[in-house]
């Protein structure tokens, strides 16, 4: 669910994690799910279906978005700006941005856009979370390229194939790992393609819970 605390802003728990206040109810779990899926579809793939204009950087006017959702889904006739802003600010994956009356998705687009995202402070070495079983597939096929929020695939190789295309080239052979799990950025800051996995088993972080 989505709630709002007068002192600490939006939150998605039963009580405000900072002061324990019950907060003001905004959206139930189902409404959060439906609105989130709608935002993902409109802001990443098909704004024209809702009669919306998207600029070259992926921004859509929030007032126009609200009107379009209210028209297409009678359930959301109550929808106001603070519902969308609250969902954006509490999104655990940071998938959306709100700025100066406009909203956009931060990644996962099927459109050719110039997101112009900040590139300061990007580390040279990153880590890609995986399981021991999947690591062998990563070594063989390389890292998947493309949006993270796609349909479940059978394995890394099928994910790589499904995400390849005109705007999502398959990993270059030089990007494929051979024996380790440290990920080093090969291209200048701001590029989303061009990482390769280099061997150094001792630098692999502990495994993450599969949740």
174-179: average pLDDT: 39
Inter-residue contact 1 to 27 (CB < 8 Å): yes
CA angle 116, 105, 101 (to 5 degrees): 85
In this structure, the answer to whether residues 87 and 145 fall within a common structural domain is no
Could you tell me the pTM of the whole model?
A: 0.60
- Check residue 171 and give its pLDDT: 43
Task: Check pLDDT > 90 for residue 200.
Answer: no
In this structure, the answer to whether residues 146 and 197 fall within a common structural domain is yes
Q: Is residue 95 part of a domain?
A: yes
Task: Check pLDDT > 60 for residue 168.
Answer: no
In this structure, the answer to whether residues 7 and 94 fall within a common structural domain is yes
Q: Is residue 185 part of a domain?
A: yes
Tell me: the pLDDT tens digits for 9-66? 999 999 999 999 999 999 999 999 999 999 999 999 999 999 999 999 999 999 999 9
- Check residue 95 and give its pLDDT: 94
Q: pLDDT above 90 covers what percent of the chain?
A: 53
Domain of 33?
2-105
Residues 6+ apart with CB under 8 A from 183: 125, 126, 127, 128, 143, 195, 196, 197, 198
Q: Return the half-sphere exposure (C-beta side, CA atoms, 13 A cut-off) of residue 177.
A: 24
Alpha helices in 132-208 (DSSP H): 132-141, 156-162
- Check residue 211 and give its pLDDT: 47
């Amino acid at each position: 669910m989505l709630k709002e605390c007068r002192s600490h802003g939006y939150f998605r728990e039963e009580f405000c994690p900072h002061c324990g206040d019950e907060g003001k109810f905004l959206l139930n779990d189902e409404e959060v799910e439906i609105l989130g899926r709608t935002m993902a579809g409109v802001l990443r793939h098909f704004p024209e279906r809702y009669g919306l204009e998207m600029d070259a950087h992926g921004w859509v006017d929030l007032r126009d978005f609200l009107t379009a959702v209210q028209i297409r889904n009678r359930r959301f006739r109550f929808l106001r700006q603070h519902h969308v802003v609250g969902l954006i600010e509490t999104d655990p994956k940071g998938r959306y941005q709100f700025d100066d009356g406009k909203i956009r998705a931060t990644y996962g687009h099927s459109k050719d856009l110039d997101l112009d995202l900040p590139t300061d402070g990007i580390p040279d070495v990153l880590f890609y979370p995986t399981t021991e079983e999947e690591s062998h597939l990563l070594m063989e096929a390389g890292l998947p390229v493309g949006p993270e929020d796609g349909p479940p695939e059978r394995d890394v190789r099928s994910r790589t194939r499904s995400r390849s295309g005109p705007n999502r080239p398959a990993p270059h052979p030089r990007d494929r790992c051979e024996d380790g799990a440290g990920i080093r950025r090969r291209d200048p800051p701001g590029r989303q393609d061009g990482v390769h996995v280099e061997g150094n088993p001792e630098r692999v972080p502990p495994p993450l819970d599969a949740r």
